[in-house]
């Protein structure tokens, strides 16, 4: 569980109003910085030049990423009632010994709920591009005495996951913010173990009653179009959450990556 007092000291008790929608549109993805001493692994000493960030992909406008300054929204008291997070966790059917990635983990709302379900022998790779988020996660994990979480400082083109080792990559309300979806989907695909899955949880754009900004909602058809174009196949879906799609993808071994120009 999170230490609310710790986050209140950081944010002065500020919570983003749900009326503003998911994620603040005022924050752009922060530049990748050196990780805090408690966040591992460290970034390589030499990074390739980053390609320009996309503004649109396959007909969809890419949303700006939520900055760490608004992390308190992720642990708002109303989240369970609004999103039924407990039902999502049950539907994912975690097993002891699994390696699970919480991609775009933020301050660890889901990470710390998943980690105990993977014991003995399993762990969560908690990936975020903001070292400040990982600092909050580290502090919350320490207070909760959770020690099977490995924070990973990713980049906007690479989550830095081990090749062929990850049983499940969970991405909650974050895929629509990827500024380089093709790069990220390629690296995630490499990381999946045999029969490993990428699970995308996204607010339903088909439902006008979901009180989230349109830019932060996505249709199932759009997600499936983008994922199948990048070597995935939809194998399952879960439709019992109040506001969100839950879409399960595996590698499509018949897919061939387009030749580079």
Which residues on neighbouring strands pair with residue 32, listed in sequence order?
none
pLDDT at 46: 60
Which comes out higher in pLDDT, residue 37 or 64? 64
Among 4-13, 96-105, 141-150, the least confident range? 4-13
Among 46-55, 174-183, 212-221, 242-251, the least confident range? 46-55
Per-residue pLDDT band for 125 (boundaries 50, 70, 90) equals: very high
pLDDT at 8: 41
Between vectors from CA 81 to CA 78 and to CA 83, what angle results, nearest 5°?
Answer: 100
Per-residue pLDDT band for 231 (boundaries 50, 70, 90) equals: very high
Residue 145: DSSP 8-state: T
Helix (H, G, I), strand (E, B) or coil at 196: strand
Distance CA 73, CA 54 (A): 26
- Overall average pLDDT of the 176-198 stretch: 98
> Is 252's pLDDT higher than 50?
yes
pLDDT at 48: 66
In this structure, the strands spanning 99-103 and 60-61 are unpaired
Distance CA 83, CA 59 (A): 27
> Is 14's pLDDT higher than 50?
no
Distance CA 32, CA 153 (A): 9
Architecture label for domain 4-18+54-251? 3-Layer(aba) Sandwich (3.40)
Between vectors from CA 174 to CA 218 and to CA 44, what angle results, nearest 5°?
Answer: 145
CA distances in angstroms from 95 to 104, 200, 227, listed in the order given: 21, 19, 25
Ranges of H-type helices in the chain: 4-11, 79-83, 85-92, 111-114, 131-144, 181-191, 220-228
pLDDT at 164: 98
Mean pLDDT, the chain, integer:
86
Distance CA 238, CA 217 (A): 17
> Is 53's pLDDT higher than 80?
yes
The whole-model pTM stands at: 0.82
Which comes out higher in pLDDT, residue 10 or 237? 237
Residue 204: DSSP 8-state: B
- Overall average pLDDT of the 198-208 stretch: 98
pLDDT at 261: 64
Per-domain residue ranges for the chain? 4-18+54-251
């Amino acid at each position: 569980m999170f230490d609310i007092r710790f986050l209140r000291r950081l944010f002065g008790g500020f919570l983003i109003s749900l009326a503003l929608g998911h994620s603040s549109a005022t924050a752009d993805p922060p530049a990748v910085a050196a990780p805090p001493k408690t966040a591992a692994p460290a970034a390589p000493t030499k990074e390739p030049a980053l390609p320009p960030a996309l503004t649109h992909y396959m007909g969809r406008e890419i949303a700006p990423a939520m900055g760490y300054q608004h992390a308190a929204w992720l642990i708002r008291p109303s989240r369970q009632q609004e999103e039924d997070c407990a039902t999502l966790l049950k539907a994912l059917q975690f097993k002891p010994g699994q390696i699970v990635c919480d991609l775009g983990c933020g301050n660890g709302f889901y990470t710390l709920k998943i980690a105990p379900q993977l014991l003995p022998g399993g762990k969560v790779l908690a990936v975020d591009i903001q070292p400040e988020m990982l600092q909050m996660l580290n502090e919350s994990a320490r207070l909760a005495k959770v020690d099977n979480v490995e924070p990973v400082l990713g980049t906007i083109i690479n989550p830095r996951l081990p090749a062929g080792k990850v049983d499940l990559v969970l991405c909650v309300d974050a895929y629509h913010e990827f500024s380089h979806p093709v790069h990220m989907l390629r690296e995630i695909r490499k990381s999946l173990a045999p029969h490993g899955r990428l699970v995308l949880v996204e607010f339903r754009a088909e439902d006008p009653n979901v009180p989230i900004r349109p830019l932060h909602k996505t249709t199932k058809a759009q997600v499936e179009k983008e994922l199948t174009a990048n070597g995935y196949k939809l194998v399952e879906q879960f439709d019992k959450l109040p506001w969100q799609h839950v879409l399960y993808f595996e590698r499509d071994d018949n897919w061939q990556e387009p030749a580079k120009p």
